[in-house]
């Protein structure tokens, strides 16, 4: 039985949440950005966006004052989901 778009998005998000401890627990604000069914209808391509804290590098007084509020950057991942089984086949960095 083929999975629909909702099933593909749920599978991608669950996969991402399940491996979150391996890529950083500070990931938050996971949102759906794009979904596409492959031309041959075998895969869903699901893009999720998320926020993560920016790594602090240099230490200056101005930098310390500015960084009182955590700065976040937005990253994106593309998940390839099997349209038949709902299994996540890959996760890749999505360049913007």
In tens, the pLDDT along 15-70 reads 999 998 888 778 889 999 999 999 999 999 999 999 988 876 655 555 555 555 66
**Own/partner long-range contacts of 48-51 (Cβ < 8 Å, ≥24 apart):** 48/12, 48/13, 48/16, 48/76, 48/77, 48/79, 49/74, 49/75, 49/76, 50/16, 50/74, 50/75, 50/76, 50/77, 51/27, 51/75
Q: How confident is the model at residue 14 (pLDDT cuts 50, 70, 90)?
A: very high
pTM, rounded to two decimals: 0.81
**Number of domains composing the chain:** 1
Structure tokens given for 20 = 């979150």
Q: How confident is the model at residue 82 (pLDDT cuts 50, 70, 90)?
A: very high
Domain that holds residue 18: 5-93
């Amino acid at each position: 039985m083929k999975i629909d778009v909702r099933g593909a998005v749920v599978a991608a998000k669950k996969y991402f949440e399940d491996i979150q401890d391996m890529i950083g627990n500070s990931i938050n604000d996971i949102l759906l950005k794009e979904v596409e069914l492959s031309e041959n209808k075998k895969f869903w391509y699901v893009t999720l966006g998320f926020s993560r804290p920016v790594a602090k590098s240099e230490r200056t007084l101005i930098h310390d004052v500015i960084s009182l509020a955590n700065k976040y950057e937005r990253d994106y991942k593309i998940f390839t989901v099997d349209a038949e089984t709902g299994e996540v086949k890959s996760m890749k960095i999505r360049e913007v």
